[in-house]
Amino acid sequence: MPDVTILGIESSCDETGAAVVRSGQQILSNVVASQIATHQPYGGVVPELASREHLRAIIPVVRQALAEARLTYESVDAIAVTQGPGLAGSLLVGISFAKALAFALEKPLIAVNHLEGHIHAVLLEQRQTGNGELQFPVLALVVSGGHTHLYLAHSEENLWTYDNIGHTRDDAAGEAFDKVAKLLGLGYPGGPIIDQLAPHGNPEAVKFQTSQLKHRDRNRPQADDQPRFDFSYSGIKTAVLRYVETHNLGAAIEERRRAFSETKGPKLEDYLRFCDRQTLDLVASFQRSMVEDLVAKTLAAAREYDVQTLFVSGGVAANRELRENFAREAEMQGLPVFFPSRSLSTDNAAMIAAAAFPKFLAKQFVPVDFSAEAGMALR
């Protein structure tokens, strides 16, 4: 394995990340500056504020990543940066900085698809634990705030290619977690809060129907007769809203919202103090339905395509119930399933530097005039 050190930069959404990874397997540093405090008062990411925060953070974050790796700018072999998908203004900050570095240092520049980064977070983790050999075909579920996508992943001579066999028709799974948390007055980002609260409620208390998509996606012309496994999560969010209205939870939600707006960084005890049994049951039941739907559809796709290995990555892959449920159900199907560690599941730059390594070996470099692609597809 050649000794290649790549500086990765990630700024597609609300985290500014820089990391140094050696040969796609050894993390020398991985720095993430979170913008949660900036967006919290608005209950979601405000794109304009996100770009400004990236501008503020990018230089110190990159400097810290190099310092922690005990490297200088000159000693890295290449610069990798997220090209898309993501918020255009946020992507531009990382890309402009990476271009300037590559130009000034005369280093190769590598553009990485953010979703490919999430998939390579799994590989990075596996290589660290010495598991370098994987059985193909691989099915990868990328489940985050912006995506719920299923890919068949192939690798040939350092080049990875991906076939999309399913995606969400409306809200992404992480988006549903965030919207439900917001409507229950629990704050932002919703996923980690719901993850912590769910074990305190009864997941069988409320029955939610997740949608069974029988018809074809009208927005996506079918190229061939490949079976598809699409998801849809806007219905469950509406069902939670209807439950809130019919069970008169509005006043308690308002009280909670007020209390949390005055609490700096609420802790689990604070959340529990302001959540009655009915709300905890609702949260647990929502999470159970989300998890069961994600696992059932992914495993159905795994059976249909007869895959040998399953990857689950992206922010929602940090969810404990999702990990437990996937591990249990995939084992029953005799399918090995791999996740990144919880900290590598959410956005970070180590995954971008790891995904860039095979591209470095294949000399897939980009010219300094390449641009951000907010809606970039993974192929």
Interface with Zn ion includes 347 (CB under 5 A)? yes
Please state the length of the chain: 379
Q: Does 314 bind ligand KG4 (CB under 6 A)?
A: yes
Question: Shortest approach of Zn ion to residue 36 CB, angstroms?
Answer: 15
Is residue 85 a contact residue for ligand KG4 (CB under 6 A)?
no
Cα 105 to chain centroid distance, Å, stands at 31
Q: Which of 21, 318, 335, 353 binds ligand KG4 (CB under 6 A)?
A: 318
Q: Which is nearer to ligand KG4, 180 or 302 (CB)?
A: 180
| Pairwise CA distance, residues 132 & 124, whole Å | 9
Q: Which does 316 bind (CB under 5 to 8 A by kind): ligand KG4, Zn ion, none?
A: ligand KG4
Question: Within a 10 A sphere around the Cβ of 177, how many other Cβ atoms?
Answer: 27
Positions in 203-222 near Zn ion (CB under 5 A): none
Q: Which residue intervals of the chain are DSSP H helices? A: 36-39, 47-68, 88-105, 114-128, 173-183, 190-197, 234-246, 250-261, 268-273, 277-304, 320-332, 342-345, 350-361
Close Cβ partners of 112 (under 8 Å, ≥ 6 residues apart): 8, 80, 81, 82, 83, 352, 355, 356, 359
In order, the DSSP letters of 323-367 are HHHHHHHHHHTT--EE---HHHHSS-SHHHHHHHHHHHHTT----
Q: Rule CB under 6 A: is residue 266 a binding residue for ligand KG4?
A: no
Count of residues engaged in binding ligand KG4, rule: CB under 6 A: 19
Question: Which part of the chain contacts ligand KG4 (CB under 6 A), choosing from 1-9, 98-106, 140-148, 229-237?
Answer: 140-148
Which residues are CB-neighbours of 260 under 8 A, at least 6 positions away? 185, 186, 187, 266, 270, 274
Chosen residue from 144, 148, 210, 309 binding Zn ion by CB under 5 A: 144
**Residue partners of 346: CB distance under 8 A and separation at least 6:** 15, 315, 318
Site for ligand KG4 (CB under 6 A): which residue of 137, 192, 235, 336? Answer: 192
* Contact flags string 148-187 toward ligand KG4, x per CB under 6 A: --------------------------x--xx---------
CB of 83 to ligand KG4, least distance (A): 14
Residue matched to tokens 């249909």: 304
Query: Which of 17, 89, 145, 266 forms a contact with ligand KG4 (CB under 6 A)?
Result: 145
Q: Which is nearer to ligand KG4, 22 or 39 (CB)?
A: 39
189 binds ligand KG4 (CB under 6 A): yes
Nearest residue (CB) to ligand KG4, 174 versus 266: 174
Q: Tell me the C-alpha distance between 352 and 355, whole Å.
A: 5
| Residue 175 or 347 having the CB closest to Zn ion | 347
82 binds Zn ion (CB under 5 A): no
Q: How far is the CB of 193 from ligand KG4 (least distance, A)?
A: 8
Report in angstroms how near the CB of residue 226 gets to Zn ion at its nearest.
25
Nearer to ligand KG4, 27 or 172 (CB): 172
- Least separation in angstroms between residue 282's CB and Zn ion is 27
Q: What is the DSSP string of 57-112?
A: HHHHHHHHHHHHTT--GGG-SEEEEEEESS-HHHHHHHHHHHHHHHHHHT--EEEE
Nearest residue (CB) to Zn ion, 144 versus 168: 144
Q: In Å, what is the CA distance from 175 to each residue of 34, 37, 43, 179, 353? A: 18, 18, 12, 6, 26
Nearest CB to Zn ion, comparing residues 281 and 347: 347
Residues within the interface to ligand KG4 (CB under 6 A): 13, 144-146, 174, 177-178, 189-192, 195, 314-316, 318-319, 346-347
